[in-house]
Amino acid sequence: MGDPPPVTAAEWSEPPQAGLRRLPGLVLGAVRLAVSAAPREFALVTALQAAGGLGLVLPVLGGRRLLDRALGGAGLTAVLAQGAVVLALTALVAVAVAVASSRDEVLSERLNRYAMGRVLDVACAVDLEEFERPAFHNRLERASMSARIRPHQVVQGLGSLTGALMATAGVALALAAIEPLLVPATVAAGAPLWLAGLKSGQVLYGALFRLTPAERERSYLQDVLTSRRAAAEVRAFGLAPHLRSRWEARTRERLGEIRRTVRRRLRITLLARAVSGVALAAVLGPLLARAATGAMPAADAGAAATAVLLLASRLRAAAAGTDQLFEAAPFVRDLGSFLRPPERAPAEPAPPPFQVLTVENLGFRYPAASRPALDGVDLTVKAGQVVALVGENGSGKTTLAKLLSHLYRPGSGRILYDGADVASAAPEELRASVAVLFQDFERYLLPASDNIALGRPERAGDRGAVERAARAAGADPFLRGLPDGYETLLGPEFAGGTDLSGGQWQRVALARAFFRDAPFVILDEPTATLDARAEHDLFERLRDLLAGRTVLLISHRFSTVRTADHIYVLAGGRIAEHGTHASLMAAGGRYAELFALQAEGYLDPAAIPGR
């Protein structure tokens, strides 16, 4: 797709000449994309479209000769032979056009698959932090929309332009034989149409560029109104009318912008046609005047005028091709800029799993946030330890877990494996030795066994390991009880699918983390939805289950935290205190206070130490 610069908000208002300058590069980029996506279809469709374009003129010229011969008294055989040629040509053109259009459907699909595949590759490769930025989502939305139709539009435009230009060249040659000067004059009369196509394409892109955020909101609302995930809450709170009216508002905005754009494009087209029509009249006028005054034989003037009109109609067909190119060009440029890989310093190989993980003065701020989520965090985790993170909502626990699992890069400070900074190591390699169970883990609408095996897809075939992980997470009994056991599809939206309870889903997600079999395990609220017995069982067995591994445990349940080897208490993105349960209780600080608050709910206050 070439190497176009990133698209800015001002893109759509760029002057037409800038668009013209970039066009060859963009066409080349789209052609390269088509050649990579579907070389055979691309060659065939382009050749057939060109042949179709040329073929449109040949029967006309052949018909003229046929008429000449018939009127000129040529023999019946010669006339019939000429007629057969014209018929054959017409049939050939019809076949070429039909085959081109059917192959074009396949080409469109393959182009879409290829371009969309690349969009998906980029979306999966970008840093997680990008997903926090609205600008990224706008670009992703536009790239996805563009990938669907625009590269194909360039190829189509190119095909019809090639065909139209071949036909144009044929007519231009015929006209040049009568009156050479009329050729550039007629071409000049068609120029406004091309300029209008260029401007009109930019106007459309500008409108869709401006509409992207509203369009994303509209899609989001559509999703909420139609997804199973939100269906219960939408009904329980009676949200449909409210959400529907927000959707209507976005839709009205869209309609307004589209109306304005259509009107603007129509004005541009009408103006161009008017100017072009006047220019064409200026070409034809003197010709007819010369014929009227006898300065030119009427037959020559008639032939020249017919050729001028034919050339003008071919030029209009060529303008239809360029219109497609001009319309697609800014979108293809936008797509190209999205697909351009971000510049990154080459990553070094990741070090082996740590014996000691040290965090020094770690800081991180979400792009949309005004305050840092983590600020000056220092922490040490030794291999084989169970370390707990506690703290009130929003204190930074999940953010720290995401940094330690190398999903976000530190904003400041360092993460050290055995004393060596891992900042320049490849994050995906570092992540290979970490297993994370997120608080808001994903529920994959896939068979139960896949839901577990996705913990390490390259070992997905190891059925024994899948079942061991399920047993460890306490998921085995209920998975066996499903209609197709481990092969049951977890997604009632699909035929044969079923659903699990919240706690059962959490155990499946836990099994996924176990299946990953990584030396560093991060569990963010792993028991939030488990019943009391399941939670108790899990923590009783956690050390055995994860023997030899390092565990970072985030939990609001102090009963599960107290057994950790070391506990860090976060407050406002900083480490407020740390130590063992006993030392923290003895210190009587924030931990002791939170512990006591929770215990109060269960126990007689007199039984709580320090009360």
Residues of the shown chain interacting with ligand ATP in the complex, contacts defined by CB under 6 A: 132, 366, 368-369, 373, 391, 393-399, 439
Decide whether 45 or 377 has the Cβ nearer to ligand ATP. Answer: 377
Q: Quote the least distance from Cβ 371 to ligand ATP, whole Å.
A: 7
Q: Return d(Cα 70, Cα 79) in angstroms, integer.
A: 6
Q: Quote the least distance from Cβ 372 to ligand ATP, whole Å.
A: 8
Which residue type does 104 have? D
Q: Quote the least distance from Cβ 552 to ligand ATP, whole Å.
A: 12
Q: Return d(Cα 542, Cα 286) in angstroms, integer.
A: 96
Q: Return d(Cα 378, Cα 89) in angstroms, integer.
A: 81
Decide whether 108 or 395 has the Cβ nearer to ligand ATP. Answer: 395
3-state secondary structure of 524: strand
Decide whether 134 or 297 has the Cβ nearer to ligand ATP. Answer: 134
Q: Return d(Cα 480, Cα 504) in angstroms, integer.
A: 13
Q: Quote the least distance from Cβ 400 to ligand ATP, whole Å.
A: 7
Q: Quote the least distance from Cβ 133 to ligand ATP, whole Å.
A: 10
- Regarding beta strands 356-364 and 412-417, do their DSSP bridges make them parallel or antiparallel, or are they unpaired? antiparallel
Nearest to 421 by CA among 522, 351, 344: 351
Decide whether 78 or 369 has the Cβ nearer to ligand ATP. Answer: 369
Nearest to 435 by CA among 370, 510, 375, 485: 510
- DSSP one-letter string for 171-223: HHHHHHHH-TTHHHHHHHHHHHHHHHHHHHHHHHHHHHHHHHHHHHHHHHHHH
Q: Quote the least distance from Cβ 385 to ligand ATP, whole Å.
A: 21
Question: Which residues share a beta bridge with 391?
Answer: 570
**Dihedral, CA of residue 573, residue 577, residue 581 and residue 586, to nearest 10:** -140
Q: Quote the least distance from Cβ 573 to ligand ATP, whole Å.
A: 7
Q: Quote the least distance from Cβ 131 to ligand ATP, whole Å.
A: 8
Q: Quote the least distance from Cβ 585 to ligand ATP, whole Å.
A: 21
**Dihedral, CA of residue 505, residue 510, residue 512 and residue 514, to nearest 10:** -160
Decide whether 19 or 396 has the Cβ nearer to ligand ATP. Answer: 396
Phi, psi (5° rounding) for residue 364?
-155, 135
Q: Quote the least distance from Cβ 362 to ligand ATP, whole Å.
A: 12
Decide whether 133 or 148 has the Cβ nearer to ligand ATP. Answer: 133
Structure token pair of residue 334: 């936008």
Decide whether 159 or 410 has the Cβ nearer to ligand ATP. Answer: 410
Q: Would you say 571 and 558 are in contact if contact means Cβ atoms under 8 Å apart? A: no
Q: Would you say 52 and 92 are in contact if contact means Cβ atoms under 8 Å apart? A: no
Decide whether 114 or 366 has the Cβ nearer to ligand ATP. Answer: 366
3-state secondary structure of 377: strand
Decide whether 373 or 465 has the Cβ nearer to ligand ATP. Answer: 373
CA-based max dimension of the chain: 124
Q: Would you say 93 and 52 are in contact if contact means Cβ atoms under 8 Å apart? A: yes
Q: Return d(Cα 165, Cα 431) in angstroms, integer.
A: 55
List the Cα angle 602/604/610 in 5-degree steps. Answer: 100
Q: Quote the least distance from Cβ 390 to ligand ATP, whole Å.
A: 9
Decide whether 391 or 413 has the Cβ nearer to ligand ATP. Answer: 391
Decide whether 62 or 372 has the Cβ nearer to ligand ATP. Answer: 372
Q: Return d(Cα 539, Cα 564) in angstroms, integer.
A: 10
